[in-house]
Chains A and B, each alone.
Chain A
């Protein structure tokens, strides 16, 4: 491992996992598999507990802002564990000189999103640091939720078996491209808005009617390709995915074509992967599609026996290629 932290350590790929394993898992004595939320059994109930920090630039982007993101992200981490999100704690690190009006707007978004998701923001902390000591505003949210014992298997995927189907709830990459656009990093404008959304109600609807949900994970850093690789390793199997069945909106495809990005590796903030039994896949799809947040859901892949844990993509033109774990940040190509 390099001596200094680089941006690659935060990109959600190999280096991120290596850092977490070599520093935190080891020092804190945590046990693997690492899931989105910790599952805690206390006083006859099973609680889930998670935390996440938000350092997005810019703070406001089409489709949301750092506040909305801080609620959605933590709600989603709890919800994909199969839990009902309940309470949120929010900590703010604010740079001296930050406009109070902006803070008010951000807090309002957080309140709105919390109401929308049905969670309560119950505690928090505020620190102000000297100018230059942070980039305007960083938010950390932690959340707890209650997990029914019947869903405890979801975050580790231990019930997954060959033949299980992979489903996503809509087109990929919108968040990454919306944020890149808002950073003025593109020399053109795009109509893309972030998919930032709380998915707990969507997930609740699925879990209520379907008994064979074997795994869920939100598709943030590292994108779908990152999550599929992690999953394949976790369950010691392979995955076959069908590129033509993975929805990507045209404006996102267009930007990716120009810059040489791969939408399968881009971050999302309102998308999840569901693994379910083949028998129940159509039913899950139907429920997802009945919700606005899942209107473009698609069954796109299958778990297969493979000790090499490869994720193979059947390309839309009929070829095959291996989708590897992302490594470093995606960089624009020169030509």
Chain B
């Protein structure tokens, strides 16, 4: 298949792995920030191709994983309302809140619909004028422009029953939170699709301030291997900088149209990240002039949630400080069908991918 097979060429991959393994002169720890990278790394069995001196750890880039319990609890509370239809991306339904999950509420009869985009949620709003449609807007700079376009469209059509519960987040503050705590990382495999929107320049502070290399990476096995090779070269030369491997999608400036939409509809706010707590200016909420679509304002609810299970080490896993196998709950109490932390929930979550694709060397 075009645009797929050329990036999965076995000879090319063998060549890249052998170049990587020849370049290794000591131990390296690289963090893949994006959950899509984590899933691809395990799906293709990338670790089994690499020298044991290279350690890949998963960062905070699975949007479902970092969504706070408070958000799930709010969504669950909304789902209990008679006149509400919840519209959500698929993998959020399994995320446990403090007392329940959307999946459990659906079993009990709540109207919860999986959508592929905000525009699909808007379609449901048009078809159900007597219901309140609440769209659970999660995701990073990649997904947020889609929500922005949806809100603008709802405004244009003057739709009165469509509301956004936003947990959209932006990536750089979380990456800064990681490095500023002094975690031992030699390089970042940076999120390619985030950078396609924002441009590569948003990562500039990492090599400048923290002397850690960044390679913006695509999602195919050759992309990942080429990026690992680029990072090793940066480390070996002691010359960290922002390098674009994913040149077919990413530029320095990014997608300026999407950036404009984002700026018009959203403004930065403090946000809760599961495992990190509050990170200042890391979230996106609707601007005041789009307040009529803000679920928090238009359909206010109060929630009372308990703290997360104290044994769950989701936070440390997302910081790259521990691996899932170091968690006392992993694979016995916390399994995909009964997830404790959000890392086990999403297909992209660190614990879920470790559980599913246990690495074979």
Q: Residues of A at under 8 Å CB distance from B?
A: 2, 4-6, 8, 14-15, 186-187, 244, 250, 253-254, 257, 259-260, 262, 312-322, 324, 327-328, 331-335
Q: Is the CB of A320 within 8 A of B4?
A: no
List the 10 closest pairs (A to B, CB-CB), nearest first: A319-B45, A331-B90, A332-B90, A320-B360, A334-B89, A321-B45, A321-B357, A327-B336, A315-B45, A320-B48
In Å, the complex CA distance between A262 and B103 comes to: 22
CB–CB A334/B91 < 8 A? yes
Q: Which residues of A sit under 8 angstroms from B91, Cβ to Cβ?
A: 331-334
Check B4–A321 contact: CB distance below 8 A: no
B114 contacts A by Cβ under 8 Å: yes
Within 8 Å CB of A318, what residues of B? 10, 13-14, 17, 45, 49
Per DSSP, are chain A's interface residues mostly helix, strand or loop, or mixed?
loop
When the two chains form the complex, which single residue of B13, B104, B138 contacts A317, counting CB atoms closer than 8 Å? B13
Cβ-closest chain B residue relative to A328: B337
With A318-B14, A321-B360 already in contact, the answer to whether A5 and B48 are too (CB < 8 A) is no
25 contacts between A and B (CB under 8 A): A2-B107, A4-B104, A4-B107, A4-B108, A6-B104, A8-B103, A257-B4, A315-B44, A317-B49, A318-B14, A318-B49, A319-B44, A319-B48, A320-B48, A321-B44, A331-B90, A331-B114, A331-B347, A332-B91, A333-B90, A334-B90, A335-B34, A335-B35, A335-B63, A335-B143
- Whether B114 lies near A333 (C-beta < 8 A) is no
A119 to chain B: closest CB distance in Å?
37
Known: A4-B108, A187-B117. A333 touches B346 (CB 8 A): yes
B1 within 8 A of A: yes
- CB pair A317 B221 closer than 8 Å: yes
Residues of B within 8 A of A317 (CB): 8, 10, 13, 44-45, 49, 221
Q: Is the CB of A333 within 8 A of B348?
A: yes
> What is the minimal beta-carbon distance from A251 to any residue of chain B, in angstroms?
9
* Whole-angstrom CA separation of A291 from B106 in the bound complex: 45
A331 touches B94 (CB 8 A): yes
Check B228 for interface membership: any CB of A closer than 8 A.
Answer: no
Contact flags (1/0) for B344-361 with A, using CB distance below 8 Å? 001110000001111111
Q: Is B335 an interface residue (CB 8 A)?
A: yes
- Per the bound structure, the CA–CA distance linking A315 and B45 in Å amounts to 7
Given contacts A321-B357, A332-B89, whether A315 and B43 have CB atoms under 8 Å apart is: yes
**Is B45 within 8 A of A335, CB to CB?**
no
Q: Which residues of B contact A254 (CB under 8 A)?
A: 1
Whether A335 touches B337, Cβ cut-off 8 Å, given contacts A316-B10, A320-B48, is no
**B39 at the A/B interface (Cβ < 8 Å)?**
yes
Tell yes or no: B20 within 8 A of A by CB: no
Contact B114 A332 (CB under 8 A): yes
* With A8-B337, A335-B142: A253-B360 Cβ-Cβ less than 8 Å: no
Interface assignment of B36: CB less than 8 Å from any CB of chain A: yes
Question: What residue in chain B is nearest A324 (Cβ atoms)?
Answer: B356
Question: Is the pair A260, B39 in contact by a Cβ cutoff of 8 Å?
Answer: yes
Q: Chain A residues near B42 (CB, 8 Å)? A: 321
Give the distance in Å from the alpha carbon of A315 to the alpha carbon of B90 in the complex. Answer: 26
Who on chain A is nearest to B142 by CB?
A: A335
CA separation between A254 and B347, bound complex, in Å?
18
Interface residues of B, CB < 8 Å — how many?
56
Residue B199 at the chain A interface, CB threshold 8 Å: no
Residue of B nearest to A331 (CB): B90
Which residue of the partner chain A has the closest CB to B336? A327
A187-B117, A253-B1, A320-B48 are known contacts. Are A328 and B43 too (CB-CB below 8 A)?
Answer: no
Q: Which of A8, A187, A321, A334 contacts B43 (CB 8 A)?
A: A321
Verify B347–A333 contact, CB threshold 8 A.
yes
Is there a chain A Cβ closer than 8 Å to B193's Cβ?
yes
Q: Is the CB of A6 within 8 A of B107?
A: yes
What residue in chain A is nearest B91 (Cβ atoms)? A331
Q: Of B34, B39, B142, B337, which is in contact with the most chain A CB atoms at under 10 Å from its CB?
A: B337
Tell me the bound Cα distance from A117 to B169 in angstroms.
Answer: 56
With most chain B CB atoms within 10 A of its CB, the pick from A4, A313, A315 is A315
Q: Do residues B347 and A253 form an inter-chain contact, with CB atoms below 8 A?
A: no
Q: Which residues of B contact A2 (CB under 8 A)?
A: 104, 107
A315-B43, A335-B63 given; name 11 further pairs at CB < 8 Å: A316-B10, A317-B10, A318-B10, A319-B44, A321-B45, A321-B358, A327-B337, A331-B94, A333-B91, A334-B91, A334-B138
The answer for the CA separation of A313 and B355 in the assembled complex, in Å, is 15
- B139: which of A186, A321, A334 is its contact (CB, 8 Å)? A334
User: In the bound complex, how far is the Cα of B355 from the Cα of A4, in angstroms?
Assistant: 25
B140 at the interface (CB under 8 A from A): yes
Contact A319 B46 (CB under 8 A): yes
CA distance A223 to B108 in the complex (A): 28
Known: A327-B336, A332-B116, A334-B64. A316 touches B357 (CB 8 A): no
- Shortest Cβ distance from A254 into B: residue: B1
CB distance from B88 to the nearest CB of A (A): 10
User: B139 near A335 (CB under 8 angstroms)?
Assistant: yes
Q: What are the residues of chain A within 8 A of B347 when measuring CB–CB?
A: 260, 331, 333
What CA separation (Å) do A334 and B10 show in the bound complex? 28
**B120/A187 in contact, CB under 8 A:** yes
CA distance A327 to B336 in the complex (A): 7
Complex Cα–Cα for A328 and B339 (A):
12
The chain B residue with its CB closest to the CB of A187 is B116
Are the C-beta atoms of A320 and B94 separated by less than 8 Å? no
User: What's the nearest-Cβ distance from chain A to residue B64, in Å?
Assistant: 7
Residue of B nearest to A8 (CB): B337
B93 beta carbon closer than 8 Å to chain A: yes
Taken together as a complex, chains A and B put the C-alpha atoms of A5 and B103 apart, in Å, by: 11
Say whether A253 contacts B4, CB under 8 Å. Answer: yes
Cα-based distance from A186 to B114 in the complex (angstroms): 11
Q: What CA separation (Å) do A187 and B142 show in the bound complex?
A: 18
Q: Please determine whether B139 and A316 come into contact, CB atoms closer than 8 angstroms.
A: no
- Chain A residue with minimal CB distance to B220? A317
